[in-house]
Structure formats: structure tokens, C-alpha cells
Chain A
Amino acid sequence: MDSPQLHIIAYCCEHCAYAAADLAGGLRMQYPPEVKIVQIPCTGRIDVLTVLRAIEDGADGVMAAG
């Protein structure tokens, strides 16, 4: 993860993964800044098209966390 050009999109469930990312922030745990966090109500909301479109747009990886 040392390439500054990496684009990772993290779709995070607002109830768990998003809260976990908040907690990581509260504890000042450091992680690579190539991750963009997008809040969703549930990982169930993620459509195959959502993932494919993000990759088509140029993302190097998509993470669904929930």
C-alpha cells in the first residue's frame, strides 16, 4: 500500500464497520490514507453494479465491511 495512486473504496455498514472506523480514529490507530470510507445502512445495500462501477471508474479495490 505504498503507491499513492491506489484507490480503495470501503463501503462500511453504519452500525458496525463504520463505527469501528470511528473507534480506530478515537484510538488514533494509523492506517494507509488510500482508503475512502463510504457509509451505507447495511452491506446488503451493495449492488454488484456498485462494485463494478467503482472499479470501472478506476478504483483498485472495493471493500465491503459490515
Chain B
Amino acid sequence: MANPTLTPTRSAVSTVMVVGGGIGGMRAALDLADAGLKAVVVEQSSCLGGRVAQLGYMFPQHDCVLCRGTPDHGYGCTRPSISPAYIQQNQHPNIEILTNAHVVDVVGQAGDFTISLRQEPRYVDVARCINCGRCAEVCPVDLPDGYQQNMVTRKAAHKVTARAAPDAYTIERGAYCDECGKCVEVCPSGAIDLDAQPRLLTIQAGAIILALGFDVYDPTGLEELGYGRYPNLLHAMQYERLASRSGPTEGIIARPSDGRNPQSIAWLQCIGSRDQQHSYCSSICCMYGTKEAMLAKQRLGKDVACTVFIMDERAFNKEYSTYFARARDQYHIRYVHCRVSAIHEDPATHDLILHYATADGNLTEERFEAVVLATGLRPPASARHLADLLDIELNQHGFCQTDKFTPLQTSRPGVFVCGAFSSPKEIAETIIDASGAAGEVMRLLGDHLNSYPFTREWPFLSVNDLPREQDVSAASPRIGVFTCSCGGTIGTVLDLEQLNQRARQLPDVTLAETVEYACFPETLEHIQARIETGELNRVVIAACSNRTHEALFQRRARMAGLNPYLLEVVNLREQCSQVHLDQPELANRKAAELVRIAVGRVRASVPVHKNKHRCHPSALIIGGGVTGMTAALAIADSGYDVHLVERSEMLGGNLLNLYYVAEGYNPQRLLRDLVNRVRAHQRITTYTRTEVVRHWGHVGYFRAVLRSTPLAGDMTETQIEHGVTIVATGARETTDHPWLALPQVITQRELEEMIIHQPEAIMRLQDVVMLQCMRPPGTMEYCSRVCCTNAMKNAIRLKLFKPDCRITVVYKNIVTYGFREEFYTQARQHGVIFVRYTDDRPPTLVQDGERLHVRVRDPALDRWLDLPADLVPMSMAVAPSEGTRALAQMLRVPLSSEGFFEEAQIKLRPMDFMREGIFLAGMAHYPKFVEESISHALAAAARALPLLSQQSLYLGGIVAQVDPARCVGCLTCTRTCPFAIPQVIQQEDRHGVGGLGGAAFIDPTECQGCGTCTGECPANAIQLVNYTDEQIMLHAIGGLGSWLPAEVVT
């Protein structure tokens, strides 16, 4: 059989294969698609979503992901079908999804890969499956439900989750399916074909992104813990399902042994991490363990005793320290610093008895009703095979090998990596990686951006192939109501003929008829024809969820020349027929009412258009450190101009003071390389000794005033125009601490300089005491993330120079996450001593004559130690750069509680601001390692490039509009807008009530369309487009307060 080539591509090089359909793969594909490249997502399971789709809640905000990151532009893709660009009926035109597929072979090189794939059949035609579930009802085969961690069963004919992408059932054939064929018989739309065969496919691609994710460590082998023998010993993913509203117990955690809600639960951290076999830290378990404990308190009541057995509390990201504090202080979650040595079960109760050593070394035991193993992350099972196929290197742990300063590149050019496949990491960092990898691809394929143009001109994604719009403003409304039977799914519950009759009595309804499947092409063509002939100029489709199908119907209306806002969808299926199965009479009444509301809305609807803008093809980047330079090069290499603004004398930022890194690479070489490339690049204009003093405008067309103060000569101001802005202003090591006045006390950064420049001073050292987690008095505490690894790096270097130097690290928690754990291990192997302190007994300095001592409470010995010290290097907190607050005000973007810039959403949009067109990268976001800043910079560039490469931006549409003649200038809108967009300004021809000088102005390029100002305006001077008072209150058809039309108004 000849391999069919997937979709004839205009240019093979502008196609990118993304392997893995979890959040990383989805995010990367979406960024590529937005940049006008074609993305083919290859997923081995039957739906997208990966691990994240199994999580009920994300730390630290416990968002269920439903309502976050889902604006019209599709940013922040999350759950498989939540993100608009992955909704089947509105899929991004540049994204192709291949489920049940895997890579068979790859040949070629960067820019020209030929990839062979094999796709197993799903036996269900995704385009015809209506999700009625009848196939699962009749299927006789029960199988363990892997999505629910095998705690319940499902049928062989099944849908992985209620909302899956692709949104369709699938049939698992194989040994258990007895081929009874009942599913085929019962399927109303003829979507099932049990004879479907595997497909072999070939794709040509310019680049490959690997987003394979991770496997959860299987604790079965841990004999001493007894996993698998004790029913109430769960692993973390099982607990996640039990705590999830969509899990087998609907979120009310129950013991597998007896179904009782446990009253005491223990979490055991570092299972399959930080041990002899797995020498790395899995990075996410401290946080998820705490989340799971909080969920227990929230679900089962505050009296449930939650204990977390933990080695170090690794809360090393924004808001995470606060999260741990909340867990401890508000939720009274108990943390015990130790490893549990063994678990036994009380066979009578199935309670579990934990054996462990307390801080003072005494052995003790404690009983719990359930225990959760916080299992670590493993490389994905497919990693080895795929690495061989692709000829890429894996590291010693089996994760993808990357270099420190090229964190998203594999060992094979043109093949990039993102997410947990390169090292254990959480959602936010996976998202950063994913966009960053897309950024690398955009740079590689820079000449091919916008090869596949598309537009967000309409509420659906399209490719500019629509006919001219009809002007129906002069015509009286002629409304057609189509009620969908959905193959009987709706039609057998509701009386659709009666519904049509009721609809025909409503004003302006000229047609009401039932269709079998509204979403099938033949029906859509039928509806389109009715509009094209002029018979209808408004349409109501009473079918299923508008979240899944509205875009499909809107697109069809627009194909017929009708403005898509002149169409309303009634959610007859999800919000009526399926939820009132036993009350047909009341369900019919509700259906009639929902149709009446839709008719009322569509009668009051007017055409809505967004405004077309051109994107100014250049970027402003604020900050010339490693982040700013990396972002500048990524954008400039892709063919767009960059203004790179640096406040100080030289490019380089913190990299100027970084001489070596724990991994052994040379950061000074990186610095020279970046500076040389930036300086030589013809598309980059560098401004040193320059600050941004004004910034205004909107996405696509910003303006800024740059003030330069050269060493010699006069201050100058330059005004620039640009399409996007990237904030890369970095952070600094703080130095405000009274102890730093002592000659023996220095910062870790100063120690690093000393090691490089004063080796003779180092050789004189006998006793060094490093103090971790130090911060300027009176400032907020948060984990600065990089200090522990830096302390390890310097301690190891000291020990290499002078092995007999006694080094003690006085710490609260050692946060050497990921593969950095190796440096903690090395430091201990070199003989570095570690002493833990707590906030209630912090270390102090004692001057004893000439000699300085560090006094610290040793928890193991339970007494005070006086440690002599020739040198006391302190790890000082990393704080935002000076001027961060002023810059935030200028850009009108918020700051986090720690004072760093606050992104649009902590997990899903870590490089975006809510204000469109402004992006965030590097330490301006939070303290980071060099490689993390590089990934973040590439991610910001990947967000900027789609805007820069698009021919047109469409802004506005559903926005709030002010009637100045009714505005009294009361400022209520300026106070209530969550985005600080309304302004009361003086403009020609705009006068408020009584000819007042000023009136509120809401910039349609910035308005997010929430309508808060509309709801709050006391003078009723603001209306939200498409959600006007009439469309919400529906007076014209009798209002909302009664069931039947009080009177039909004509």
C-alpha cells in the first residue's frame, strides 16, 4: 500500500510535526498555527489533553481550568476541548490532529524531514459521531478505565472524558471486543465502522517538536511500603481522580477498602525521587502534595488530619511560598521533615501504620486511615524508542538531553523539545517551554511565517475565503428557527413539532422546522440556501451546546453572506433535553422558553464587525540582559525589527556577574556570543543608557518615548512606533542586610567573584558558614529559586580548591529541584555539612573577640551550636529590578505580591499580560536560572511573532460603547473596569450631559468585553455590543420573568 501524503502542503518546510497532544504539544501547535505555519499534532491516545486532563485542580489557585485562559483568541489552551482552537467545529485551520498515531520513521534534516506515521483506527467517524452514547450503553465489554486510574470500569465503546478533543466516542477493539456489532446497529448516524484499517501516512515537515510529557513513577516495586497490597495506600494520580469532580467519587475522597471518607490522611513525598535509583527531584510533588492535602480539608471538612512527610519544602515559584504558608496556618496541614521507613497495615481496619524517625532521631509510629504516595516523574515509556528513531540523545535519567544554554534543542538540529520530557516540570513551565520551542521553530522557519494565513475577523477561525456580507439592515426581520432532533437524542425527549408550532407564534418567525442533524453538511447547506435566497435574515438553531457548535453555525451563516451575530444557538441538548429526562412536560415548556429568549435576542441583534488594524512590524524589548537579547535575536532572526533598550552602560544584565554555572558551562562565552550577535544584527537597534519614559497605544500600534543619557553629551528623547512590547527588565540580588556591614559577611555573588578573582584569599579559608534564605529586613518572604543551587555550586568549587575547608550550609529547605539535586548530592559527597533552621529559631551572629561565630539550633542534637566562620556568604533574596513599579504603571500592567510583574494567568499564560501585545519574560517574572530565562524569552518571542507576521489584526467587536450625551463623568466605569481601560477625556465633538467638557471613552482596541462598566454605569450611558439591555432583559417579547409569552408583541 502506498503511503498517502497528508494534506498536500503548499510548502513542506512550513509544516511542523508536534509529537504529543498534552498541554505542551497543544500550546506549541497553537503558537505555530498562529504564526501561519501548519502544525500536525501526533497523539498516541484517542484524545488530546495528556496528564493535565486528569487533574481536577491546579495549584496554587485551585482553578479548575474551565474559566481560565479561554478568550476568543484561544490563548492558554488547557483542557482538551476547552480551548477554542481545539474545539472540533472551530479548529484552527492550521492545526491537524492525528490521534491514535505514532511515529514509525524519520529521515532528512532540519528544514526537510520526511516522517512516516501509523494511525490506528478509532472505528468511529469523528465527523459523524454525535456523542449520544448509545454505543456505550449497548456495549457488553467492561474494561478498566485508565482515565480514572483503573478504579472503575468503562465500556470498550467509550469516550475518554465528557469533553474530549476530538469530541467523539472511540472503540477499543482487541482481545476483549467480541465483535458483537451492537454498537454499529444502534448508532443513529452510521458513524461506526468496525472494519476500519490502520493508515500509514507520510508527512513532510521543516521541524519537529517533542512534547512527550512524562510517566508517573510506579511504586509497585517498593516492598517496604506495600503498594498494591494495602487497598488504602494510593498513588498520587489515583488521589487526583478521587479528589476531582469528574472522578469516580465525584470529588468526595473515599477509602477503596470500605468507601468511607478517611479522617486522617498522610502524604509521603519523594516516592521515586531523590533516592538511590532516582537521583533527581521531580519538582512538582511538594506542591501537588500540599494541594491534595488542602483538597482533603476542603472536601472532607477541616477536621480531617492531614500530614505531609516531606524532606524539603520546594515551593520555588511565584505565590508558592504563600501557598505553603496558607496550608500550614489556615488549613493546619502538618509537615513532618523525614522519610517514612516502612508502612504496615492493620488488617482489621485496613488503616495504615507509618514507621518513621522524628527530628531528634527517635523511632515512632503513627496510624492513618489512608496514605497517598507522592509519586515522582519518570521519562515517558515511548522515550527510548522514539529517541532511537529520531537519533536524539537522552540523559542519564532517560529524559531528553539538552544543553544548558539551548534548553529547547535536542541533539539533532531541527528537533526541539518542551515540557517534562526534558526534565520534570509543572504546567506553567511546560507552557513556557512549549511556546519557546515554537519560537525556536519560528526562527528556523522565519522565511515561511504566514505561509498559511488565517483570520480572527469573525467569532470563528477562518481563512479569508468568505463572500461579501449582505446588508440586511433595511429589511424587516425574517427569522428561521431550526430545531434539531439530533438523531433522536433531543427528538425523543422533546416534542419538536409542538416546539415548532410555538416558535411560529413568536414575532418575525417566518419558518420553524425540524432537522435530523443540524451539524451535518447536508443540513448546513439547506440552512445556507434559505439565507442565500433571502428567505431568512435571522436564524435560530435549537440544537446543542453553543460552546461546541456555535462557531460551526456562525461560519455557515457568514458563508451565506449573513453577519454571524444575526444567528442564535439554543442549547436544547445539554441544557434541556439531557438534564430533564424524567420531566418531559416541563422540559418542553423550558425548550419553548429558551427558543423564545433566542428569538427575542436575535430580533434585537445588529451586525457586529471588528476593526481591521495593521501590526507595526517591530518590537520594543525593555531590558538588555540574557532574556532581552535572546528575545531580540529570535524576533530579528525571523525578519522583524527590534528596539532593544538597556538602562545601564552595557548589555548583559546579571550575566555580567556570572562566571560559572553548576553544570560547568561558561556563561561569559554565552554573554560574548549574545552581545556580538545583537550588536551585529542589522534588524536590532540597541539603546544603552536609555529608559522608556512613556508608552501608549494598543497591540499592533504602540508608541514609546526613549530617553537616552549618554556619558558625554546631552540627554536625547526618541519616539518609536512598534507592534509589540516585551518586558525583560530582570531582577537583582538584594544587598540590604545589617550583617553585610561585617567584613566577613558577603553575598553569594560576591563569593563567586572572590573564587574567580582572589583564589589566594580562598586558599586561606578554614571555616565557611553559608546562610540561606536571607532577605532585607521587613520584606516579604518568598523562595528566590536560584540561591540553593548557587550555594551548592560555590560550596563544591570551594571544596575542589581547598578540600580541608569546613563548609556548613545553614538552611531552611534545600531547593535543588529537577536535575539540580545532583549538586546537593555532590556537595554532601564533598563533605559539606547541612544544618536546618526554622523561623522560630533563626541563626544569629556572635562576635567572640576576633572570631565570628554563627549560632544555630541543631534540630538533630537539639542544642545550640556556635560555628566559627572566616567567611559567611549569605544567599540574599532576589528582588525585582529598581523601577519595576514605575514601569508597571507606565505599561498599565499589574505586579504580584512579591513585586514582580504579574502575568495574565499564573499557570496557563506565564508570558502574557492581560493587556494584549505586551509580553513578559525572564526574571522580571520571577527569579530564574539562565536556561529558564532563555526559554521564557523564546516563549515571549513566540507570542510576539504571530502578531508581527500577520497581515491584519482584528480588534473590537463585542466591546462596551459609551453614549457621551448621557455620560455625567462620574468615573464609575474607570473604577469598576477590571482592566483600567475607560478614561474620562476631552475630545472634540464629545460632550457629556449638559454639554460637559469630558465624557467616558472606552478604547475598542483594548476593551475585553466583560460588560462590568455597562452593568455599573448609573446613567445607563454604556451598552455592551450584542449584550444590550434589550438583549438581556427582552422587554419586546415580554421579558424573562414568566414562562409563556405574556403577550406577543408584534
Point out residues on A near B: beta carbons under 8 Å: 4-5, 7, 9, 13-16, 18-42, 44-50, 53-59, 66
Are B66 and A16 in touch, CB under 8 angstroms? yes
Encode B1030-1046 as 1/0 by CB contact (under 8 A) with A. Answer: 00110000111111001
Interface residue range, chain B: 35 or more
Of the residues B162, B586, B1009, contact of A4 by C-beta under 8 Å: B586
- Nearest chain A CB to B136 CB, angstrom units: 12
Point out residues on B near A: beta carbons under 8 Å: 66-67, 70, 82, 131, 162-163, 246, 545-548, 571, 573-576, 578-583, 586-587, 589-590, 593-594, 597, 958, 976, 978, 1009-1012, 1014-1016, 1024, 1027, 1029, 1032-1033, 1038-1043, 1046
Of the residues A22, A27, A47, A55, contact of B571 by C-beta under 8 Å: A22
Q: Which residues of the partner chain B approach A48 to less than 8 Å between Cβ atoms?
A: 1015
Q: How many A-B residue pairs have C-beta atoms within 8 angstroms? Tell me.
A: 147
- Nearest chain A CB to B503 CB, angstrom units: 16
15 further A-B pairs in the complex, CB-CB below 8 A; given A23-B163, A40-B1011, A66-B67: A9-B1040, A19-B82, A21-B574, A22-B545, A25-B571, A25-B574, A28-B579, A33-B583, A41-B1011, A44-B1010, A44-B1015, A45-B1010, A47-B1029, A48-B1015, A57-B1041
Q: Which residues of the partner chain A approach B1010 to less than 8 Å between Cβ atoms?
A: 41-42, 44-45
Q: A16 vs B1046: C-alpha distance in the bound complex, in angstroms? A: 31
Are A20 and B1014 in touch, CB under 8 angstroms? no
- Nearest chain B CB to A15 CB, angstrom units: 5
Of the residues B163, B958, B1011, contact of A44 by C-beta under 8 Å: B1011
Q: A55 vs B1041: C-alpha distance in the bound complex, in angstroms? A: 6
- Nearest chain B CB to A19 CB, angstrom units: 5
Are B1032 and A23 in touch, CB under 8 angstroms? no
Are A45 and B1032 in touch, CB under 8 angstroms? yes
Q: A16 vs B70: C-alpha distance in the bound complex, in angstroms? A: 10
Kindly list the 5 A-B residue pairs having the minimum CB-CB distance in the complex, ordered from nearest. Answer: A57-B1041, A25-B574, A44-B1012, A45-B1011, A16-B67
Contact A38/B597 with A16-B67, A21-B574, A44-B1010 known, Cβ cut-off 8 Å: yes
Q: Which residues of the partner chain B approach A59 to less than 8 Å between Cβ atoms?
A: 1040-1042
Contact A41/B958 with A25-B571, A26-B163, A57-B1041 known, Cβ cut-off 8 Å: yes
Are B1014 and A45 in touch, CB under 8 angstroms? yes
**Closest chain B residue, CB of each to CB of A15:** B67
Mostly, the A contact residues are mixed
- Nearest chain A CB to B1006 CB, angstrom units: 16
Are B67 and A19 in touch, CB under 8 angstroms? yes
Mostly, the B contact residues are loop
Are B575 and A22 in touch, CB under 8 angstroms? yes
**Closest chain A residue, CB of each to CB of B596:** A36
Q: Which residues of the partner chain B approach A29 to less than 8 Å between Cβ atoms?
A: 579
Are A36 and B581 in touch, CB under 8 angstroms? no
Are A9 and B1041 in touch, CB under 8 angstroms? yes
Q: Which residues of the partner chain B approach A9 to less than 8 Å between Cβ atoms?
A: 1040-1041
- Nearest chain B CB to A30 CB, angstrom units: 6
Are B580 and A38 in touch, CB under 8 angstroms? no
- Nearest chain A CB to B1035 CB, angstrom units: 8
**Closest chain B residue, CB of each to CB of A45:** B1011
Are B1041 and A56 in touch, CB under 8 angstroms? yes
Are A25 and B575 in touch, CB under 8 angstroms? yes
Contact A57/B1040 with A19-B67, A39-B546 known, Cβ cut-off 8 Å: yes
Interchain residue pairs with CB less than 8 A apart (22): A14-B547, A15-B66, A19-B66, A21-B574, A22-B571, A23-B162, A25-B573, A29-B579, A31-B579, A36-B594, A37-B571, A41-B958, A42-B1011, A45-B1015, A47-B1029, A49-B1033, A50-B1015, A50-B1029, A50-B1032, A53-B1039, A57-B1040, A66-B67
Are A47 and B1014 in touch, CB under 8 angstroms? yes
Q: Which residues of the partner chain B approach A24 to less than 8 Å between Cβ atoms?
A: 574, 579
Q: A49 vs B593: C-alpha distance in the bound complex, in angstroms? A: 21
**Closest chain A residue, CB of each to CB of B572:** A25
Of the residues A18, A45, A55, contact of B1024 by C-beta under 8 Å: A45
Q: A34 vs B585: C-alpha distance in the bound complex, in angstroms? A: 11
Are A54 and B575 in touch, CB under 8 angstroms? no
Are B1024 and A30 in touch, CB under 8 angstroms? no
Chain B CB within 10 Å, residue with most, of A21, A24, A36: A36
